[in-house]
């Protein structure tokens, strides 16, 4: 599973300007009587022989139509969707990274689930919230991934740390202290000045009780104090300032670190490390699982001039997100299901149980009706933790400045 789909929010500000573009597109205008339905997705790595494309074909056959599928890179897909809407030749089904949904909704590109008569009752409310804007829901999640803490069993054994005893920030920091004393390294994560850094920071930010509308709250300062304290104490390396989620994983995979914050998509790589590992949720400050941000895509339906097509579009979406089909798809994409039915099946897999719990506690970056406000908050936030971790500002000053920038 490539992590790029997690960083789609960084593209929102760019996507908002695309409607002024005049370049061409591959879209084919959909006529009222056509039995060919266009589906665009962000999975160009899957060819026609893949399980994913076979599922699309089957869903089309079951609905009595032919599916014309095109896979795009995530960045390209957002831009093409905006341009296609402007030109009046949007696809019938559009599968996009969840932070992009609010951008497309506010641009008038998407139908609502009420208009399309899509039943949303089976979907987890915390995941569905990422597709809400202005009190309306635009599409449904096909699955989700999020963050947790991988740990190296041998490193923790040497330090005398029981991972099951790590329930809050205090117990985690105490564990890092023991690991350092044993001669090993504590924790690695991504604090790069991009959306990847914000994505990795949010579990600690939200785990403090902070809210994205108030970046300089005491809770927010506590979260940044935690990260800066780890660097000052040598529990985390200075390399986190430049780490992407991939390079952070590479550090953890050396076997020298006790913990690595990363996502579901690294499970296959974890099994290749050559050392015994485990996974625990990111703890909140006061105890329990911190809300981590969700990655993953939404299945949406762009506005069509021929609304009679919506009946078939609804059938395609229902097929793609049904419990049995979603389980297969989520397994292919290394996702946790967006419905309780799929999550219950995945909970029987020891490698997925923790991830199911993490997803159940997670929240969308654009939730709380932030929508397209999120990128204007995220960028000052990553600037704040960069400034504090590098020592150029105190956590309080960095976050005060971030709040001022976000409020402009």
The domain tally of the chain equals 2
CATH of the domain at 209: 3.40.190.10
Can you tell me the mean pLDDT for 161-189? 98
Same domain, 260 and 398: yes
With 50 as the cut, is the pLDDT of residue 19 above it? no
Same domain, 244 and 357: no
Same domain, 46 and 98: yes
Can you tell me the mean pLDDT for 334-346? 94
8 A C-beta contact, residue 104 and residue 111 = no
Q: How many Å apart are CA 10 and CA 198, to the nearest integer? A: 10
Same domain, 257 and 394: yes
Residue 326 corresponds to which tokens in the numbers above?
């979603």
Quote the radius of gyration of the chain (alpha carbons, Å): 22
Same domain, 255 and 112: no
Q: How many Å apart are CA 408 and CA 173, to the nearest integer? A: 36
For residue range 34-74, list pLDDT tens digits in order: 899 999 999 999 999 999 999 999 999 999 999 999 999 88
Containing domain of residue 283, as a range? Answer: 147-292+370-406
Which region holds residue 135: left if phi is over 0, alpha if psi is between -120 and 50, else beta? Answer: left
Q: How many Å apart are CA 103 and CA 18, to the nearest integer? A: 11
Q: How many Å apart are CA 199 and CA 68, to the nearest integer? A: 33
Neighbours of 311 (CB within 10 A): 11
Q: How many Å apart are CA 368 and CA 362, to the nearest integer? A: 13
DSSP state, residue 48? T
Same domain, 170 and 76: no
Same domain, 247 and 356: no
Tokens 């829901």 sit at which residue?
Answer: 137
Q: 209 in helix, strand or coil?
A: coil
Same domain, 117 and 161: no
Residue 38 corresponds to which tokens in the numbers above?
């266009």
Same domain, 210 and 305: no
- Label residue 33 by pLDDT band (50, 70, 90): low
Same domain, 136 and 67: yes
8 A C-beta contact, residue 150 and residue 174 = no
Same domain, 119 and 138: yes
8 A C-beta contact, residue 209 and residue 285 = yes
With 80 as the cut, is the pLDDT of residue 246 above it? yes
In this prediction the pTM is: 0.87
**Of all helices (H) and strands (E), which one includes residue 376?**
helix 374-390
Residue 177 corresponds to which tokens in the numbers above?
């202290």
Q: How many Å apart are CA 136 and CA 139, to the nearest integer? A: 10
Residue 299 corresponds to which tokens in the numbers above?
């299945």
Q: How far is CA 387 from the centre of its chain?
A: 24
For residue range 132-154, list pLDDT tens digits in order: 998 999 999 999 999 999 999 99
Dihedral angle over CA of 355, 357, 361, 365, nearest 10: 10
Neighbours of 24 (CB within 10 A): 9
Same domain, 122 and 168: no
């Amino acid at each position: 599973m490539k992590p790029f789909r997690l960083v789609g929010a960084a593209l929102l500000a760019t996507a908002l300007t695309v409607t002024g573009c005049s370049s061409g597109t591959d879209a084919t205008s959909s006529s009222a009587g056509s039995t060919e339905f266009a589906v665009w997705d962000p999975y160009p790595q899957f060819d026609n022989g893949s399980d994913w494309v076979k599922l699309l074909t089957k869903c089309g056959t079951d609905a009595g139509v032919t599916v014309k599928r095109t896979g795009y890179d995530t960045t390209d897909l957002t831009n093409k969707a905006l341009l296609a809407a402007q030109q009046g030749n949007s696809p019938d089904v559009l599968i996009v990274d969840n932070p992009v949904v609010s951008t497309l909704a506010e641009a008038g590109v998407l139908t609502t689930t009420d208009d399309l008569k899509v039943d949303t009752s089976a979907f987890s409310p915390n995941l569905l919230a990422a597709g809400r804007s202005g009190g309306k829901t635009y599409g449904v999640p096909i699955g989700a991934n999020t963050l947790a803490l991988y740990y190296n069993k041998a490193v923790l054994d040497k330090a005398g740390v029981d991972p099951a005893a790590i329930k809050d920030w205090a117990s985690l920091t105490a564990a890092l202290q023991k690991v350092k004393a044993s001669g090993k390294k504590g924790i690695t994560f991504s604090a790069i000045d991009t959306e990847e850094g914000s994505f990795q920071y949010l579990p600690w930010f939200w785990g403090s009780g902070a809210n994205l509308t108030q970046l300089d709250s005491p809770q927010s300062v506590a979260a940044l104090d935690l990260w800066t304290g780890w660097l000052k104490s040598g529990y985390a390396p200075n390399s986190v300032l430049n780490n992407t989620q991939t390079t952070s994983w590479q550090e953890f995979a050396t076997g020298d670190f006790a913990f690595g914050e990363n996502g579901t998509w690294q499970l296959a790589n974890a099994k290749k490390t050559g050392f015994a590992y485990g996974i625990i949720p990111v703890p909140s400050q006061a105890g329990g699982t911190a809300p981590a941000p969700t990655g993953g895509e939404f299945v949406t339906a762009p506005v069509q001039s021929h609304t009679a097509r919506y009946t078939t579009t609804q059938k395609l979406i229902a097929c793609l997100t049904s419990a049995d089909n979603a389980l297969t798809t989520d397994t292919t994409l290394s996702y946790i299901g967006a419905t309780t039915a799929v999550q219950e099946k995945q909970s029987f897999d020891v490698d997925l149980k923790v991830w199911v719990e993490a997803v159940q506690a997670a929240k969308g970056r654009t939730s709380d009706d932030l929508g397209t406000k999120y990128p204007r908050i995220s960028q000052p936030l990553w600037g704040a933790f960069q400034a504090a971790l590098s020592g150029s500002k105190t956590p309080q000053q960095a976050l005060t400045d971030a709040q001022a920038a976000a409020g402009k």
